[in-house]
Structure 1
């Protein structure tokens, strides 16, 4: 009987003291804020960042050194995504284009990194903005530079805020402030579909990992699901679960979509029944570009208030990443990206403090049991 009481009490505990969230590496070198962070799906595994300084950088995850610098855009680089099989990147920009460009990276020999003590996810010390980065970043002068794209996608009449590859990598989708999303044939650069219907600027787009499905997010408080599985038709569903800008909506490997919003909520949806969310996460700050881990299905929430929080798919809070005057983001956190294939860094975040951060997140399975 005593054991049963203990189990019941344990099931109601919301402590995250057993979740270990360790800062592993900081990636510093951009001269302006970072909008997006992404990780390659091919070997070698490298980190990509997209910045308002008009560049995209590729980094060695282990050493934090710049491997490639892309300078082909004439405006802010707002997103970066890697081709599923080739060493090719897709970037979206304020110059009203999306670029597809090739890179070749050879990883340097990793150097021993400084020891970083493990920190409880709940530990936090606040600090003032006087510690914000204000010096220009130092990018190695021998970092190879790519100046010209393979292909430029040019059909938008406004800022291209995001872009992603469809499964297979033969088509790409872009989202723009001109209120449309465009589907392109990558090989020919031809516009295949213009996806219209949003009433205000788009903020994000995401593709399903295994099916020809696209989700677009907008300032009009909705996100839309576009179905291209039948080549002869494409259907669309509109979802109205938020009360402010939908900043991102992403697919999980299963049958879920997770949406985040400036209304300070994140909602989990079942693709088979999208009339209402199956879980709602309420927070104290606007939510930016979220990411869901494939293995443990953990949602990483980057916030305007410099916090990054982790939740499970049922809405239970698992951890908060440490932030103090020594480590963590100093300004708004814009994006999160999981990378389960890397042995030391399995979560990356980036923000207006001009840096990306690699984290090692270890959440015991017991914390996720209901």
Structure 2
């Protein structure tokens, strides 16, 4: 799967990092086969019989790959269970905990007075408490509530509509964006106006408008007029042939014409976002540029240059005209549009591609990277991060809740929760029936609890999941 607008020729068992490293002209996309993507089979010189044979062969290859992939995932699940069992056994036998690295320096000092002994005892107690705290029971209850299935390729992003409108939007490499009813899990609308992978989706803060960015080098603004009386779509566990899928798709309203098209980029648009006030839009692209657009006219106002490599993401401040852009050049930039002369600040803290940067409460900024870390920054002093979270897998598009909880989606299918101080809170369940079985591309918090759901995630398994995240104190 890729962010560009080329077609899919099969499933590629590679992480999104290798996919993104390919140039925009790459002809390989990760995802499932589907008839509309096989343009190379539509040549009139190929007979229908030959087409049918090729289709059958591709299906057999795809099925065999899925079996191998599932075996591999089962082995990973067994390893996770063994690791959890090992942690439990360590907790049951606290004598096995190695304190040497933490207090060897303290114990090695000569204690010359009672006050020194008291201080050392206090430090020892604090360090011991820190170690033991890592074995405490989880303080959050994480439950899978809803499963939204229907995309034919990986899902890059999920977004939640404004308060009072109980829908979510999804952007997929299958060239479509979908609007879903949160409670019913019904697919209410398909936007089919893009000719490439749809890489991002954002709802207007006050109107029934949606903004999408695509591998076709454009961003579209389109109107989400929804039909709430549609029949419920297929279950995620059903396996339907192409004929039945087409019949279900035909019942879902399709929109192909945008209200406004935003041009100016020469590479895939990786992300697009409304500036505070929704009179302007910022787009980030693989052409190394971000562009500020006027919503009313669709014209490009200014090109924001400076990044040395492809841009991976952009986000805006909820109340001020500030934006951040992240790039594969290991940096992210803060753009200030509050004055007539736009200012920019460059921040270096990661050693690999920065995959996303978002604003958080208390004037904080949180960045994620392929270097397996998440960093929390203070806007008032961004020379160095105020907290660094070290992880075991590359991080994708994260999200920060209104109360400061960071949802971190990983390449290794995990989703972890931390707070802004870097304290680990929980890991979402992951099994054969719960969680994602491919890379998790994005996590998005809802500003309010919607039918018991306050977190949404999506990934390369083509699924979008709704989670209930509750503190054990509130239960």
Name the residue aligned to 2:133: 13
Query: Which residue of the partner structure matches residue 78 of structure 1?
Result: 199
Measure, in 2, the Cα distance between the counterparts of 1:212 and 1:149. Answer: 25
- The count of residues paired between Structure 1 and Structure 2 equals 340
Match of 1:198 in 2: 307
Counterpart of 1:144?
253
Matches within 5 A, 1:249-268: 249-268=357-376
1:105 to 2:226 alignment: yes
Q: Deviations over 1:168-218 (max 9, x none)?
A: 111110000000000000000011111000000000000000000000000
Q: Which runs of 4+ in 1 moved over 3 A?
A: 8-12, 106-111, 133-140
Identify, as 1 or 2, the structure richer in strand. Answer: 1
User: Relative to total residues, which structure has the larger helix share, 1 or 2?
Assistant: 2
Post-superposition shift, 1:62?
A: 0.6
2:349 to 241, 247, 260: 241
The Cα shift of 1:110 comes to 11
The 3 A distance-change label for structure 1 pair 197 and 286 is: same
Counterpart in the other structure of 2:35 = none
Contact 2:195 2:216 in 1 (8 A): yes
Distance in structure 2 (CA, Å) of the matches to 1:108 and 1:322: 33
How far apart are 1:106 and its partner, in Å? 4.7
Instruction: Name 2:324's counterpart in structure 1.
Output: 215
2:464 paired with 1:356: yes
Q: 2:382 aligns with which of 274, 278, 287?
A: 274
Q: For residue 185 of structure 1, what is the aligned residue in structure 2?
A: 294
Aligned counterparts of 1:42 and 1:10: Cα–Cα separation in 2: 39
* 8 Å Cα contact 2:154-2:174 kept in structure 1: yes
Structure exhibiting the larger radius of gyration computed from Cα positions: 2
Query: Could you say if the C-alpha distance between residues 109 and 12 of structure 1 is closer, same or farther in structure 2, counting changes exceeding 3 Å?
Result: farther
SS in 2 for 1:161: strand
Contact 2:230–2:252 (8 Å) recurs in 1? no
Normalising by structure 1, report the TM-score.
0.87
Distance (whole Å) between structure 1 residues aligned to residue 231 and residue 467 of structure 2: 17
Q: Are residues 1:321 and 2:428 paired?
A: yes
Structure 2 gaps of 5+ residues are 1-124
Q: Which residue of 2 aligns with 1:94?
A: 215
**Which structure is richer in relative contact order (CA contacts within 8 A, separation 6 or more)?**
1
SS in 1 for 2:333: strand
- State the superposition RMSD in angstroms: 2.4
Cα deviation for residue 145 of structure 1 reads 1.0
Hey, what does 1:119 align to over in structure 2? none
1:141-161 Cα offsets, whole Å, 9 max, x none, are 321111110000010010000
Task: Tell me what 1:45 maps to.
Answer: 166
For structure 1, the 5+ residue unaligned runs are: 115-130
Aligned to 2:43: none
Contact 1:42 1:85 in 2 (8 A): no
CA distance in 2 between counterparts of 1:306 and 1:79 reads: 20
1:57 aligns with: 178
